[in-house]
Each structure stands twice: as structure tokens, then as C-alpha cells.
Amino acid sequence: MLLLERRPVDSSLMRWASPLLALVLTVITGFILFLAMGKDPVEGLRFFFITPISDLMGLAELGLKMAPLLLCAAGLTVCYRAKIWNIGAEGHFLMGALGASIVAVQLVDVDSVWVLPVVLVAGTLAGMAWAALAAGLKTHLNCNEILTTIMLNYIALNLLLYTVHGPLKDPYGFGFPQSVMFGDSALLPDLIPGTRLHLGLAFGLLAAVAVWVMFARSFIGFQLNVVGQDHRAAAFAGFGARRLTWFAFLVGGATAGLAGASEVTGPIGQLVPQVSPGYGYTAIIVVFLGRMHALGIVVASALLALTFIGGEILQIAMNMPKAVTGLFQGLLLFYLLTCDAFIHYRIRLKRPAHPSTHSTATGEA
């Protein structure tokens, strides 16, 4: 009989092998799925994983999708390290997009280098304000942050829909629920001319570096780690749990808010209802897959960005439903958590107890 046995020490090899193993299992499942649907699996996997990144244009698109994921994931890493289960990156992101758009629409005719920074700061602050709601609900009213952040996500989405259908609706937009196009001075500069890749990716990479510095070098990073690993030890050491909770939430809100602001001032250039294909939720997978580590989340955000583009390509090239993206992401997280169990546990073959006692007895005799 197979037995799950606790390892004396957690396996650090398994800690980093688990994401790779999960990816392999996901690809195998994908292979079977293509076969089951009567499609060529090799062709399908090539469209999903290789085609999107086979030229500069594709790589730029990858960076474009990476930017919001990485920004959101950087903030969530800070939260999850402290075991604060903030599921609200989607809401922070939407509020960031909304806040930035409200300011950008007011400044549409202003031509100044200050417009873009002001718009980005507005988005960041809006994200922080939304996160502050959840932080206050947790620290002062004792509400479970998973439930409040999820609810705040839905409220943020409805607020955004209200705004594009109402106050921010472009009067000359042929009735479409969208804002006016922002002025040129409110748009993020491109990183690579001729592609859509914009400065947002640089923000994301900077955020990842900041996360690395925070947890490798700073006292507050240390405090967050301690709170996450042992709440009581943190209390004995006098680390203020409330203060740290607020800090983690505000960082999470700021990065996701900036991500939202970068999305509307980057590739879109106006506020539209479908500003996020679920970046805030996918960022949760990025954090787990990236082992809550700065370098890890950079790699993981690239992989998850690929699933968005791969899904679009499969839809066009092989007439598959676009939902294949969500399916792939869900599978990946599932396999990851399963493989993660083997960080703490190992499988052992349990031999029948009787013969072994017998042999020991003979040995002694």
C-alpha cells in the first residue's frame, strides 16, 4: 500500500521542481485534450506555446500581457508572504484603470509632460484606496479578507460598467460604452518602436526588483515573512500585525492600480468595459507558480501571458474556444498544488507489518 509520509525536512528540490512538473503534466493533459477533440496535438501545442513567441512582434505582445500580470503578482507576493489572502487584485486593477481614466479624460486637451505622471498616480491611488477598504475591514472590523476582496472585485466591475455607460461615456462614440480616446500626452511611451510594447513592462520589472530587495534586504520584508510563517512569534517580537496588514494591502493596491492605469494609457488608450481579461485572478496563479519569489514571478508571468496569446491563436487557427486559456490556467494551478504536496510529504511503500517483525525477531535470536 502506498503511504504518504511527512518528510523530516521540506524538500527544497521539490519546491522548485514542482512548477516544472506541473507544467509538464499540463502539457500532457493538453495533448490528450487535443486528441480527444480530434485535433492534431503537436500542431495545437505549437500554436499555443511556440507561434506566439516566434518573432519580435510576438515577443512584444507577450511583454504587453506580462506587464499587468507581473505588476499585480508583485503586490500579491507581498500579501501572500504574510499570509494575507488578498484576492482583490482584479478589483484594484479595475479601480486603477477607472481612476486613471477619470483624470485622463479631464486632461484630454492638456499638452504637458506632467499629464502622464498625474494620470498614473491617480490610478495607483485609486487602487490603493480600494485595497484600503479591504485592509480596514480586516484590521478594524475583523472581516475575512478573501470574501471582502472578492465582493469588492464585483463592486469595482459594476462601478466601471456604470462609468462607461454613464458619466465617462463618449457622447460621439456611436453609443458604445467607452470613454473618449485619451490625449497623446496621457499615453505611455513605447518600449520598442513599431510594436505595442509600452513602459508598463518596465514598471513590472521594477516592481519585481523592489519585491526582491524588500524580502532579501529590508526589515519590513523580514517582518512580513515572520508574520506569515508564525503569527505568534511575530506578536512576541512586537511586529505590529495591523500595520503590516495595511502595508501589504496598500502595496498590493498600488501595483495593481498602476497596472490598471498602464493598461488604459498603454495599449487601449481609453476606458472600455473589457479592460481586463482577468489579469488580477491570473496573477494569483503567477504568485503560486513563481514560488512567491521575485525571479520566479517574472518567469511565471511570462508563461501565463503566453496562455492568453496562445488561446487567441488557437481560436483563430484551429477554431477552438477561447476559454482554452482559462482551462489551461486552472489545470496548471491544480497540478501545481498537487505537486506541492510532495514538498512536505513523500510516498513510501508500506510493507505488511507481520513478516518484518518476524525477520527482526529471527535476527535477534
Which residues are at the interface with another protein (CB under 8 A)? 4, 6, 85, 87, 137, 141-144, 146-148, 150-152, 154-155, 158-159, 161-162, 165-166, 281, 284-285, 288, 321-331, 333-334, 336-338, 340-341, 344-345
Report the C-alpha gap between 173 and 159 in whole angstroms.
20
Using the minimum distance from each CB to another protein, give the nearer residue, 22 or 180.
Answer: 22
- Taking phi over 0 as left and psi of -120 to 50 as alpha, with beta for the rest, 278 belongs to left
Using the minimum distance from each CB to another protein, give the nearer residue, 70 or 84.
Answer: 84
Angle between helices 56-81 and 219-229 (to 10 degrees): 70
Using the minimum distance from each CB to another protein, give the nearer residue, 5 or 55.
Answer: 5
Report the C-alpha gap between 99 and 120 in whole angstroms.
9
Centroid of chain to Cα 203: 15
Using the minimum distance from each CB to another protein, give the nearer residue, 147 or 237.
Answer: 147
Residues β-bridged to residue 80: none
Report the C-alpha gap between 251 and 210 in whole angstroms.
11
Q: How far apart are CB 315 and another protein at their closest, in Å?
A: 10
Using the minimum distance from each CB to another protein, give the nearer residue, 58 or 173.
Answer: 173
Q: How far apart are CB 163 and another protein at their closest, in Å?
A: 8
Q: How far apart are CB 227 and another protein at their closest, in Å?
A: 16
Q: How far apart are CB 309 and another protein at their closest, in Å?
A: 16
Any idea how long the chain is?
365
Using the minimum distance from each CB to another protein, give the nearer residue, 110 or 316.
Answer: 316
3-state SS class at 347: strand
Cα 199-283-330 angle, rounded to 5 deg:
135
Centroid of chain to Cα 30: 22
Using the minimum distance from each CB to another protein, give the nearer residue, 196 or 344.
Answer: 344
Report the C-alpha gap between 256 and 76 in whole angstroms.
9
Q: How far apart are CB 156 and another protein at their closest, in Å?
A: 9
Report the C-alpha gap between 272 and 324 in whole angstroms.
23
107, 186 Cβ separation under 8 angstroms: yes
Using the minimum distance from each CB to another protein, give the nearer residue, 151 or 192.
Answer: 151
Report the C-alpha gap between 62 and 306 in whole angstroms.
6
Q: How far apart are CB 56 and another protein at their closest, in Å?
A: 30
Q: How far apart are CB 112 and another protein at their closest, in Å?
A: 33
169, 179 Cβ separation under 8 angstroms: yes
Q: How far apart are CB 102 and another protein at their closest, in Å?
A: 16
Q: Which amino acid would we find at residue 359?
A: S
